[in-house]
A = this chain, B = another copy of it.
Amino acid sequence: MQTVRQTVPDSNVPALCQRCPARHQGICGVLDGAQLAQLLKLSRRVRRPAGEELMADAMPISTYANVRRGVVKLSKILEDGRQQVVGLQFAPDLLGRPFATESRVSAAAASDVDLCLIPKNVLETAMAQSARLERRIMLQALRELDEAREWMVTLGRKTAVEKVASFLYLIATHEDANEERADFDLPLSRADIADFLGLTIETVSRQLSRLKADGVIGIASHRRITVPDLARLRLRCG
């Protein structure tokens, strides 16, 4: 028996894809060189600055977008302006709504982001041809469902400090591979964090100060956070 490769060989893989951080994960991880080359030709790489709206609620969707770098926030607003962030997408997540003609959320760049825009019909054709791809996209939707439900617990049952600790833990484990300690830039402003946690910016700020006073985190600058002991932060998540 031959050694089994982890992923499809890179021989025919386009150079751009080889350098892409999302290459071996997400939807690209299940495609071979020829399929990637095909998709690459029909898609478009773009950079969007933090804050830019990517997809409006209730707007027709004509493209999917693969997140290559940065963080995208998905949010919903009530008529009177109250806003709730309902999800965060990191590389290599796929942005867009399979089998729907319109979005039920609005998407905006939380940090500066690099995207790979794939026209709706192109990706859907690829899905029809590759069961692995369709399966992968379905698995992402199921993972997003798990994450949404996990977050419902945070929103419904946790205190303000626990909410902030949970958010920091989420980002720390996403941005920094280290198991014990972490040191990272927050991809969201205080206002976005507040909208994600169902709090006000003042409360977010106070709880960050509290965690800092307790020695659970360090705040190097407004955006820069250090976590000397992830297990201790974990304990504050409720």
Contact = CB atoms under 8 A, between A and B. Distances in A.
Interface string A124-156: 000000000001001101101110111111011
A208 interface: no
A36 to B, nearest CB: 24
Contacts of A158: 78, 82
Nearest to A196: B156
A48 interface: no
- Chain A interface residue number, banded: 35 or more
A21 interface: no
A181 interface: no
B152 A84 contact: yes
B148 A149 contact: yes
A99 B134 CA distance: 13
A47 to B, nearest CB: 27
Contact of A149 (B76, B138, B238): B76
B98 A153 contact: no
A152 B78 CA distance: 12
Given A142-B98, A149-B87, A155 B104 contact: no
A105 interface: yes
Nearest to A97: B142
Given A100-B142, A157-B198, 18 more contacts: A76-B150, A76-B152, A78-B153, A78-B157, A82-B158, A84-B152, A86-B153, A98-B138, A98-B142, A99-B138, A104-B149, A138-B141, A141-B141, A141-B142, A145-B148, A148-B148, A155-B155, A156-B195
Q: Considering the complex of A and B, which 5 residue pairs feature the smallest CB-CB distances, nearest first?
A: A156-B198, A148-B148, A86-B149, A155-B155, A84-B153
